[in-house]
Amino acid sequence: MREILGKAKTVRELLKGVKYSIDYYQREYKWHDKQIRELVDDLSGKFLEEYQPGHARTKVADYPHYFLGSIIISKKESVGYIVDGQQRLTSLTLLLVLLRNLQSGRTNQVNVDELIFSEKFGQKSFNLHVEERTPAMVALYEDGGATFNTTDRPESVQNLVARYRDLEAAFPEELRSAALPYFIDWLLESVHLVEITAYSDDDAYTIFETMNDRGLSLSPTDMLKGYLLANIDEGKRTSANNRWRDRIRDLNDAGKEVEPDCFKAWFRSQHATKIREHKKDAKPEDFDRIGTEFHRWLRDAAETVGLRESDDFYRFIDRDFDFYSRQYLRLIRASKAPVPGLQRVLYNAQQGFTLQYMLLLAPLRPDDSEPVIDQKLGLVAHYLDILLTWRLWNFRTIAYSTMQYAMFVVMREIRGLAPGPLAAQLHEFLRKEEETFASNERLRMHQQNRYALHRILARLTDYVETESGQPSRYLDYVSEGTTRYEVEHIWADHPERHTDEFGHPADFAEHRNRIGGLLLLPKSFNASYGDLTYEEKHPHYNTQNLLARSLHPQCYEHNPGFARFVEQSGLPFVAHARFNKGDLETRSQLYRLMAERIWNPADLLHGVQP
């Protein structure tokens, strides 16, 4: 084995002026939204433990350092080929692109461009260079990928764009304003990775195998199993082991990370009583420990949980683990496809809200009947659906780090409640919220909320159609692919057509992006008609979904389902022969009134059994 170098580097040292590439035989970029959210939560959580609004920028140099892991590089002809760490480096580059875009227009920008790309002989190239990804990276760098089409692109390219969107959604609100340059300083100078460099592929892969394949490490679940079974009398141990094996198999069949996530959601939902404060030297509490070392936490908390004798340990596996793992798997399935009664679990998952699972499990008890379980799950999902939509409507983030503490409090308060008290408590939580749909009459689409707004428009569109007697097409409206739906601006991006009402293009742009000026239409429609005037597009709207058709007078003729819906709801639907500023405001009011019907807190109290 030839020379091997290992060195701890800051993010700046690792990426500035350095070129990395990936051999053709390397696997695709595979990270999912979960890994992205964990990266953001780990970094932001560590930073916020130290950051105080009154700090000077120079104080960041004293903040604690953070270790982000190692990468293995094979150096060939002055280019570093990534053998291990591609997922982490790619995601870190995406984060830097997001941070660059978030700084747009600020006077105190931190230069991150040199960590994203370098320039030689007038040619720019990305520091993490993979040819097939370049068009996507350019689009993300220039405008956040707002117009980039991933259809028929390679898997890595599709994942690249999707993970950037996840970063946009997960990045905490409290880091987007005054704290942003502080966070970027800390990320570049105090976050470290160890770069291990070899000068041949053989040596690099030998290092990789040595680090990953020496022995078979026990997982936290394996250690938890050993602890629980060791405390069960021999006569029942085989039965408990069989139950454990069957449930673990089902969890693993559902996905790679489902097994540990199930234990975290279950233990938090039923047993977490404290959460770490976001301040310097605050110690991890049970909520936090469950998230990082649930097996050790349970051993330490055994007495509190009620694990004292063999029968307690047996019941913990045979009854509790069996019950909560089955319910967790139901929720995972409901988060991917519509399940009757649990549709809102899917809606919440579509918004990327992973905290919902611990809340959904919190009121459940192993002796609950199936109807009671379904009612409890439906109530919590309904509450979350309303809360998340209110926040998004008011330009608030629903990122994990921002919502974690509030959701912990809700989870603790609804633990074990029967349906009646549960509905009352959730309704009371919503009653105390200061921001609702009425709080923001100027909801508009911008770079950070466009995907969340896409889903809100999908719900509005689906509501009109299902209430008019048509089958739900919600999944069509949010699906990717060649037939995907896109947000269509009723006004084309031509401010010169509207100078009679808007004296400045910026004023026009702000109104153009308002909710009432938006529709969901097939990509092909946007490509064919998007640039036309409203009068030219108007007849074509009548061939689309009911929400678009409602702009045209023929929608109100020979359409009994829609006519009945309009009459019974009293919603102010009207056709618009022209679409000026006043029409847009009328349409925005209609959308808001529809939203208040779809996401109505009073519905939580209807038909609930005690």
Longest dimension (CA), the chain: 86
Q: Look at residue 215 in the predicted model and tell me its pLDDT.
A: 47
Phi, psi of 263 (to 5 degrees): -60, -40
156 neighbors 133 (Cβ within 8 angstroms): yes
Q: Counting every residue, how long is the chain?
A: 610
pLDDT of residue 78: 67
In this prediction, residue 229 carries a pLDDT of 92
pLDDT of residue 134: 87
Residue pair 145/168 in contact by the 8 Å Cβ criterion: no
Q: In Å, how far are 190, 568, 574, 577 from 565, measured between CA atoms?
A: 58, 5, 13, 22
For the chain, what is the total number of helices (H) and then of strands (E)?
A: 28, 10
How distant, in Å, are the alpha carbons of 495, 502, 529, 533 from that of 512? Answer: 9, 11, 16, 13
* Model pLDDT, residue 400: 85
| pLDDT in the model for residue 174 | 86
- Residues 557, 563, 567, 570, CA torsion sign: negative
Q: Which helix (H) or strand (E) holds 20?
A: strand 20-21
At 29 the pLDDT is 82
pLDDT beneath 70, residues of the chain? 1-5, 23-27, 77-78, 120-123, 200-218, 609-610
pLDDT tens per residue, range 391-440: 999 999 898 888 999 999 999 999 999 999 999 999 999 999 999 999 99
Contact (Cβ atoms closer than 8 angstroms) between residue 518 and residue 457: yes
Q: Which of 270, 369, 275 is nearest to 324 (CA)?
A: 270
- Tokens 């780090």 locate to 401
- Please check whether residue 348 is in contact with residue 394, taking contact to mean a CB–CB distance below 8 angstroms: no
* Residue carrying structure tokens 């959701």: 407
Question: Which residue type is seen at 234?
Answer: E
Triad 367, 369, 370: Cα angle to 5°: 130
